[in-house]
A and B are shown apart, each in its own frame.
Chain A
Amino acid sequence: MSETPDMGQDEGEKHITFAVGAQLFGIPVARVQDVFMPQSLTRVPLAPPEIGGVLNLRGRIVTALDIRGRLGLPSTGTQTIAVGIESNGESYGLLIDEVGEVLTLDPARFEPLPDTLDAKWRAVSRCVYYLQDSLVVVLDVDRLLSIDATSRG
């Protein structure tokens, strides 16, 4: 995956891309705090299934989100990388499989979500972006973080 050749650096929004399963996703860089390797995840009993646990990152308590669950993919429990996001003063970490490149995406080329997209994916995505050989699903961070507290999987 390379940056689209006709994109200037100043036009367009920078997105961090990452892979979950076979799919590439993107989140605006502005929403991302860091990318880290989660250490010693502590399980949270009685929590909704999307919560992978809590962990200590440089003295902050970060709540890990297993977005495979959110996307309806089976959980592998082997995610070693997380994308750190802050929301309302709270720290979250999205557990992912592989981190991709930072891409600058032209907002004019954001496409609406295809009808064929799984309902679970539609619930947390903003739009899609067609690269040369692949598709980036741009996530809606706020919707991703609003987890139904009563869901028990």
Chain B
Amino acid sequence: MDELLVEFLTETFENLELVNQELVSFERNPSDKVALDKIFRLVHTVKGTCGFLNLLRLEALTHAAETMLGQFRDGSVAVTEEAVSLTLKSIDRLTVILFGLEKSGAEPEGDDRDLINALKAVGSRSHVPHAAEPPTASEESDEPEDSVNVDSAVATRSIRVDVDHIERMMTLVSELVLARNQLMQMLRHDEGSEYKAPLLRVSNITSDLQDSVMKARMQPVRAAWAKLPRLVRDLASELGKKIDIEMTGGETEIDRQVLELVKAPLMHMVRNAADHGLETPQERHAVGKSETGTISLNAYHEGGHIIIEIGDDGRGLNTRRIKEKVLREGLATEAELAHLSEKQIQKFVFHPGFSTADRLTNISGRGVGLDVVLSNIEQIGGAVEVKTAAGAGTIFTFKIPLTLTIVSALIVEAAGQRFAIPQVAVTELVRAGPRTQYKIDVIHNAPVLRLRNQLIQLVRLDEALEMRRDTAADPKLETLIVIIEAGARVFGIIVDNILDTEEIVVKPVATVLRHISAFSGNTILGDGNVAMIVDPRGLAAGIAENSEALTPKSATDGELLAEQDDTTAMLIFRAGGREYKAVPLALVTRLEELDVAHFEVCDGRHIVQYRGRMMPVIHLDHADRLKSKGRQPVLVYANEHYAAGLAVDEIIDITEERLEIELKSQRPGVLGSAMIKGHATEIIDAQYFISQVHEDWLLARLDGVARALKGEAA
């Protein structure tokens, strides 16, 4: 294509984009003459260039838009929504024509009389007889010169560089970084070398060069926000809501490549906020909020990342409705949900096919949105968080690495080979073993880790990659676990060794290897060897197919214990005496240690505030054996409506057992005895104790259990 045309296209796309933004902004401040002048000049410039290049269709339409702007300027047309919408539509049409021009090298065939006539109609209808001076010939001729003067001052401070050129520089610098890493590695083995000083100098210069080239690719994030005010304006009118948009931190810089990938997710989040987050003016008024809702965008740097917050002051996420939807769609069972914190439940909104919207709207209804957003952000090595307050609003936070090609990675070893795990996915490193506080349990043949209040699924890296292990796992040794958070999933990867953190250059794998979901790329480590880069999400997807759910599903808990072949996870504890007691773990919602100072006595019972509810606490031994101070271990049984705590003296263990109740008991609250790990253990009927405090407590569920257990006993 003609060079002149290419330049015209680049500049005009930019100018039209600018007009778009400025016009939306001007609409809110119709008295801002400076803004209006700017818009007029931009459009005037476009018109002039179109005429110069003999692009008649563009020229005609631009002329109509310019006339309207002129009428805004001299006050003969009021700045109404209708007038501005029409002008914006014209800008859109111009952009479409430009796309056509770009594609084929000539203006596409078409007729813009619809817009031109509409503009004329508004123009003549709103004609306010006005004594303002009509633009004189001298004024018109002044305009182009003014804009030239203004622009030339700006023009000299920057130059246009072809994007491919910068990409090439970036590639070269990445190669240089790799070579530099190798040299530095070699230097470590040769301390007294005469190469040391010059190599260090080269190293420093390489780092500076890397920073410099990365900066050249940086653009302010507001480039990604540019289209949002217009989008919000259109959404507001479509949805019949009043919406403001606030953007702070737009000058925060972000890599050009990352910027391109973040644009779509941002637009979707804004659509989401407008459609689902914000209430209608009537709803807002009814709860005492201002009728105009606000969507706020904020960006800043933190560590090696850019943080982008998309917030709204709307209705917030409704955890209850999320739970209902989760259950309805079969995404999790009640037992599983009961184990999750509020935050974890909220994360279900990122699950594919999930949408709590009652009606599917054009804009963002079908639930294809948030999971795609999450996937897009994670693909570039980022993460998404959500914070919400019912009735007050929601904030989604994107955490995105500043650059894609060079990432921070944890180097680990498995089956004698090294692998890199992107640092952004790693939340914690855990050492489990006999001498540490962390233990690994096996539930349904799958290893799990008890980490604070969660049970985390574990996978051996060597097994997931189908590599042969050299030595069998020695239970006396420690197990190293890398805790990963990939989207909504948290799990742990067992590795043989954790080595180092390195800045690595990510290189795509060869086409023949691209289908392997466990890897997202490969890299050359500092010592010159190639290492595969693990993709946590790919690995997670692989194990989901192979293992069962973590918490044993219990359609009815009776079934849980009635299966003779299956083992049951039992929680072993002591309560009032030295004998061991046990209950099925699956029925326990949570193990807690509650501060005795928070216990109160009410109506002859102990009560404690637990997660926003009053929970009665009783000791299994009837007698009042609660601790007088410090922390009291409590087995929490909870569902949507009730919570009850069974206080015990000490939690001993969790173990998988084939439960065989040998001696039936007549004592209330005790189902019988069983041998567990060589100890005679009393199997407790929790239902009995809970029904002491809640009459209609989950009778069907626990009743089923009790019956099953009694049925089993000889």
- What is the interface of chain A, defined by CB distance below 8 A to chain B? 40, 42-48, 51, 54-56, 59, 61, 63, 88, 90-92, 145, 147, 149-150
For A145, list chain B residues within 8 Å (CB): 512
**Closest residue of B by beta carbon distance from A53:** B530
Q: Is the pair A63, B513 in contact by a Cβ cutoff of 8 Å?
A: yes
Q: Is the pair B518, A45 in contact by a Cβ cutoff of 8 Å?
A: yes
Taking the complex as formed, is B531 at the interface, i.e. its CB lies under 8 A from any CB of chain A?
yes
For A54, list chain B residues within 8 Å (CB): 509-510, 522, 530, 532
Q: Is the pair B466, A59 in contact by a Cβ cutoff of 8 Å?
A: no
For B514, list chain A residues within 8 Å (CB): 149
For A91, list chain B residues within 8 Å (CB): 510
Report the bound CA distance from A51 to B531 in whole Å. Answer: 15
**Closest residue of A by beta carbon distance from B176:** A59
Q: Is the pair A43, B175 in contact by a Cβ cutoff of 8 Å?
A: no
**Closest residue of B by beta carbon distance from A50:** B512
For A150, list chain B residues within 8 Å (CB): 515
For A55, list chain B residues within 8 Å (CB): 530
For B510, list chain A residues within 8 Å (CB): 54, 63, 90-92
Q: Is the pair A61, B465 in contact by a Cβ cutoff of 8 Å?
A: no
A46 in contact with B465 given A51-B512, A145-B512, A147-B512 (CB within 8 Å): yes
The smallest beta-carbon distance between A90 and chain B, in angstroms, is 5
For A51, list chain B residues within 8 Å (CB): 512-513
Q: Is the pair A47, B522 in contact by a Cβ cutoff of 8 Å?
A: no
Q: Is the pair A44, B532 in contact by a Cβ cutoff of 8 Å?
A: yes
Contact of B511 among A46, A47, A88 (CB under 8 A): A88
Q: Is the pair B466, A56 in contact by a Cβ cutoff of 8 Å?
A: no
A48 in contact with B465 given A54-B522, A56-B530 (CB within 8 Å): no
Taking the complex as formed, is B443 at the interface, i.e. its CB lies under 8 A from any CB of chain A?
no
For A44, list chain B residues within 8 Å (CB): 513, 516, 519, 532
Q: Which B161-185 residues have C-beta < 8 A from chain A?
A: 175, 178-179
Q: Is the pair A42, B178 in contact by a Cβ cutoff of 8 Å?
A: no
List 12 additional contacts besides A43-B417, A90-B510; criterion CB under 8 Å: A42-B530, A44-B513, A45-B466, A46-B516, A47-B512, A54-B530, A59-B175, A59-B524, A61-B524, A88-B511, A91-B510, A149-B514
For A90, list chain B residues within 8 Å (CB): 510-511
For B516, list chain A residues within 8 Å (CB): 44, 46-47
Report the bound CA distance from A45 to B522 in whole Å. Answer: 12
Number of A-B residue pairs having CB atoms within 8 Å of each other in the complex: 64
A46 in contact with B466 given A61-B522, A90-B510, A149-B512 (CB within 8 Å): yes
The smallest beta-carbon distance between A102 and chain B, in angstroms, is 27
Q: Is the pair A56, B529 in contact by a Cβ cutoff of 8 Å?
A: yes
For A47, list chain B residues within 8 Å (CB): 512-513, 516
Q: Is the pair B175, A46 in contact by a Cβ cutoff of 8 Å?
A: no
Interface centre among B179, B523, B524 (most CB of A within 10 A): B524
**Closest residue of A by beta carbon distance from B542:** A46
- What is the interface of chain B, defined by CB distance below 8 A to chain A? 175, 178-179, 417, 465-467, 507, 509-516, 518-519, 522-524, 528-532
Contact of B531 among A42, A46, A63, A147 (CB under 8 A): A42
The smallest beta-carbon distance between A15 and chain B, in angstroms, is 24
Q: Is the pair B512, A56 in contact by a Cβ cutoff of 8 Å?
A: no
Q: Is the pair A42, B512 in contact by a Cβ cutoff of 8 Å?
A: no
For B528, list chain A residues within 8 Å (CB): 40, 56
Q: Is the pair B524, A45 in contact by a Cβ cutoff of 8 Å?
A: no
**Closest residue of B by beta carbon distance from A55:** B530
Q: Is the pair A42, B513 in contact by a Cβ cutoff of 8 Å?
A: no
For B519, list chain A residues within 8 Å (CB): 44
The smallest beta-carbon distance between B463 and chain A, in angstroms, is 10
The smallest beta-carbon distance between A85 and chain B, in angstroms, is 12
Report the bound CA distance from A61 to B523 in whole Å. Answer: 8
Q: Is the pair A59, B467 in contact by a Cβ cutoff of 8 Å?
A: no
The smallest beta-carbon distance between A94 and chain B, in angstroms, is 13
**Closest residue of A by beta carbon distance from B517:** A46
**Closest residue of A by beta carbon distance from B418:** A42
Contact of A63 among B417, B466, B512, B515 (CB under 8 A): B512
The smallest beta-carbon distance between A107 and chain B, in angstroms, is 30
Q: Is the pair A59, B178 in contact by a Cβ cutoff of 8 Å?
A: yes
**Closest residue of B by beta carbon distance from A47:** B513
The smallest beta-carbon distance between A58 and chain B, in angstroms, is 9
Contact of B179 among A59, A63, A147 (CB under 8 A): A59
Report the bound CA distance from A45 to B511 in whole Å. Answer: 15
For A147, list chain B residues within 8 Å (CB): 512
Q: Is the pair A56, B524 in contact by a Cβ cutoff of 8 Å?
A: yes
For B512, list chain A residues within 8 Å (CB): 47-48, 51, 63, 145, 147, 149
For B509, list chain A residues within 8 Å (CB): 54, 63
For B515, list chain A residues within 8 Å (CB): 149-150
Contact of B532 among A42, A56, A88 (CB under 8 A): A42
22 contacts between A and B (CB under 8 A): A42-B417, A42-B530, A42-B532, A45-B466, A46-B465, A46-B516, A47-B513, A51-B513, A54-B510, A54-B522, A54-B530, A56-B524, A56-B528, A56-B529, A59-B178, A59-B524, A61-B522, A61-B530, A88-B511, A92-B510, A149-B515, A150-B515
Interface centre among B467, B510, B513 (most CB of A within 10 A): B510
The smallest beta-carbon distance between B210 and chain A, in angstroms, is 16
Report the bound CA distance from A51 to B417 in whole Å. Answer: 16
**Closest residue of B by beta carbon distance from A41:** B530
Q: Is the pair B529, A40 in contact by a Cβ cutoff of 8 Å?
A: yes
Report the bound CA distance from A92 to B532 in whole Å. Answer: 16
For A45, list chain B residues within 8 Å (CB): 417, 465-467, 518, 532
Report the bound CA distance from A88 to B511 in whole Å. Answer: 9
Contact of B518 among A42, A46, A56, A92 (CB under 8 A): A46
